[in-house]
């Protein structure tokens, strides 16, 4: 059976500061301590992979490079625009606490991925279109795999959560942690949720850590 291993990128400076970070922003990925990346690599090394894909955004690309090098994987890393993060428009870089304080109703709609003209006026990406583009990217990756082959997919918390919901029809999925692994099995063109938000291989995890843009 084909499987897609979807990885959320490593924690960035803005993740630590609880700032919204979408397709229009990219903060530093601290690399002084790569312990978590190596733990993820050790977990993934138990599986064979034939392809590696990444969002075109630097934090995902850098995560892909660090992890695949730690795995000793020499496959080319292919960039796929459909894997990029949601765009948060004028809210890029805003602190979560400030948005909750100043725009609680609108932030709640953002958190629930509920389209609203006021969000679109701020430049926030249409959530239905975002779901569709990520699902299409997953379908493209799955179509490129042979039977019983696996692909590594490096992306982002917001779009991965939304896209996995769209691909599997499971709407009851919480936010994804940094360096988490979610596994989708593909059978006869349909996606099945095998593993979601796996972080047991990480020494340091926070059960309440999730996407900054979600309440």
Q: Tokens 């990128």 appear where?
A: 9
pLDDT at 176: 95
- Choose among 105, 128, 132: nearest CA to 118: 105
pTM: 0.96
From residue 134, alpha-carbon distances to 20, 62, 83, 163, 182 in Å are 20, 20, 6, 5, 14
Q: What percent of the chain has pLDDT over 70?
A: 100
DSSP assignments along the chain, one per residue:
-EEEEEEEPPPPHHHHTTB---TT-------S--HHHHHHHHHHTTS--SEEEE-SSHHHHHHHHHHHHHHT----EEE-GGGSPPPBGGGTT-BHHHHHHH-HHHHHHHHTT---HHHHHTTBPPHHHHHHHHHHHHHHHHHHSPTT-EEEEEE-HHHHHHHHHHHH------PPPTT-EEEEEEETTEEEEEEEEE-TT-SS--TT---TT--
* Residue 140 to residue 24: CA distance in whole angstroms: 24
Residues with Cβ within 8 Å of 112's Cβ and at least 6 positions away in sequence, in order, are: none
Q: Could you read off the pLDDT of 5-46 as tens digits, one per residue?
A: 999 999 999 998 999 999 998 888 998 899 999 999 999 999
Query: Whose structure tokens read 């583009």?
Result: 133
pLDDT score for 211: 84
What six digits make up the tokens of 17?
């500061």
CA distance 162 to 158: 6
Assign domain 2-198 one CATH number from 3.40.50.300, 2.40.10.10, 3.40.50.150, 3.40.50.1240: 3.40.50.1240
The 10s digit of each residue's pLDDT in 107-116 is 999 999 999 9
């Amino acid at each position: 059976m084909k499987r897609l291993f979807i990885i959320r990128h490593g924690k960035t400076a803005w993740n630590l500061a609880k700032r919204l970070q979408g397709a229009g922003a990219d903060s530093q990925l601290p690399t002084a301590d790569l312990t978590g990346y190596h733990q993820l690599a050790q977990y993934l090394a138990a599986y064979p992979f034939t392809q590696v894909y990444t969002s075109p955004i630097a934090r995902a690309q850098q995560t892909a490079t660090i992890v695949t090098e730690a795995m000793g994987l020499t496959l080319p890393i292919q960039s796929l625009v459909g894997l990029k993060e949601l765009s948060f428009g004028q809210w890029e870089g805003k602190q979560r606490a400030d948005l909750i304080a100043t725009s609680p109703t609108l932030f709640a709609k953002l958190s629930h991925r509920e389209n609203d003209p006021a969000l679109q006026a701020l430049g926030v990406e249409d959530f239905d279109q975002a779901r569709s583009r990520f699902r299409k990217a997953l379908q493209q990756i799955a179509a490129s795999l042979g039977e019983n082959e696996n692909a590594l997919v490096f992306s982002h918390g917001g779009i991965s959560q939304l896209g996995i919901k769209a691909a599997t029809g499971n709407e009851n999925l919480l936010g994804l942690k940094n360096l988490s692994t979610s596994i989708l099995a593909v059978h006869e063109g349909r996606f099945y949720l095998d593993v979601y938000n796996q972080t047991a291989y990480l020494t340091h995890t926070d059960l309440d850590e999730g996407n900054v843009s979600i309440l």
